[in-house]
Amino acid sequence: MDPGETEIFIAILLASGTIGTIIICFVFIIARNHKKFLELQRTQLMAEITSLEFERKRIVCDLHDELGPLLAVVKFQMTNLETTLKHDIELIGKATCNLDGILERIRGICNYMMPDVITRNGLFTAVNNFIQELGSRASTEIIFSGQPTPVSRQVELHIYRMIQEMANNALKHSGASRLQIDISTDHDKLILQVVDNGKGFDTDSVINNSTGLGIKNIFGRTRMLNGDMYLTSEPGTGTAYKIEIPIRCNEVQNTIDDCR
């Protein structure tokens, strides 16, 4: 190389070094900030879901402890009304019947919003009860297989909510005739699989348009539990959810923060 070429070559080397350093620095800064952003997002998500659960609990308490007893008193007062008129007796009978219906509905809503059975008997029994109730209202064949899970009650509640959401989606939107729910463990992972044979949907449109609160909710809870979600669905082929939750992070007595 002549001196002129050497000068140009040195200039190229300097430019190359600078470009390389800039790109590498950018990549590392992006990766670092991305990690911080994820932590922040996860904290926000946890706060959102926790406040949602808190609000549900408050509504259930209000319904169960205030509205319920109040309606029971009304029912008691009505049954104690003294009348000899046939029309009034019939009316009291109908009103009492309606009050029973309302009380039953309140119990149903309370159970749907905050199932006591999870805290008392665990996820397996709660899902079984939910399926029985769902089966009585729909013509879909629902199959549930599972085993007791080594995770905390709080985590079980999140899994229960996901199952509720997925089962409701399958029954309401997919028109499925068969719904299969399976909870199993594989090494250090808890695996939840929900498969239906309904009409399915285009997952790309869900990702691109970010519509569908149900899927957001399921995805949000999965992320909160440090899990991964796999969704397979295409129009006409049914829908299959597979959610893998690390047991190590969500064992009884461990907090979710341990796994950050």
- SS3 state at 122: coil
Return all residues near 138 (Cβ < 8 A) that are at least 6 apart. 171
Beta bridge partners of 241: 194, 231
Beta bridge partners of 182: 145, 193
Kindly tell me which of 139 and 208 has the beta carbon lying closer to another protein: 208
Kindly tell me which of 94 and 216 has the beta carbon lying closer to another protein: 216
Least distance CB 100 / another protein (angstroms): 43
- Do residues 174 and 139 lie in contact, with contact meaning Cβ atoms separated by under 8 Å? no
User: 36 is written with which tokens?
Assistant: 């911080």
Kindly tell me which of 112 and 230 has the beta carbon lying closer to another protein: 230
Please give the residue ranges that form the binding site for another protein (CB under 8 A).
1-2, 5, 8-9, 12-13, 15-16, 19-20, 23, 27, 30-31, 34-35, 38, 203-204, 206-208, 210, 215-216, 219-220, 223, 228-231
- Rounded Cα distance between 179 and 143, Å, is 6
Least distance CB 228 / another protein (angstroms): 5
3-state secondary structure 13-47: HHHHHHHHHHHHHHHHHHHHHHHHHHHHHHHHHHH
Kindly tell me which of 82 and 204 has the beta carbon lying closer to another protein: 204
- SS3 state at 123: helix
- Do residues 161 and 216 lie in contact, with contact meaning Cβ atoms separated by under 8 Å? no
Kindly tell me which of 5 and 82 has the beta carbon lying closer to another protein: 5
Least distance CB 57 / another protein (angstroms): 24
Least distance CB 16 / another protein (angstroms): 5
Kindly tell me which of 186 and 204 has the beta carbon lying closer to another protein: 204
Least distance CB 42 / another protein (angstroms): 9
Q: What is the arrangement of strands in the sheet containing 141-145, beginning at the earlier edge strand?
A: 141-145, 178-186, 189-196, 239-246, 228-233
Kindly tell me which of 3 and 87 has the beta carbon lying closer to another protein: 3
CA neighbor of 49 nearest in space, from 244, 168, 194, 225: 225
Least distance CB 144 / another protein (angstroms): 23
Least distance CB 174 / another protein (angstroms): 17
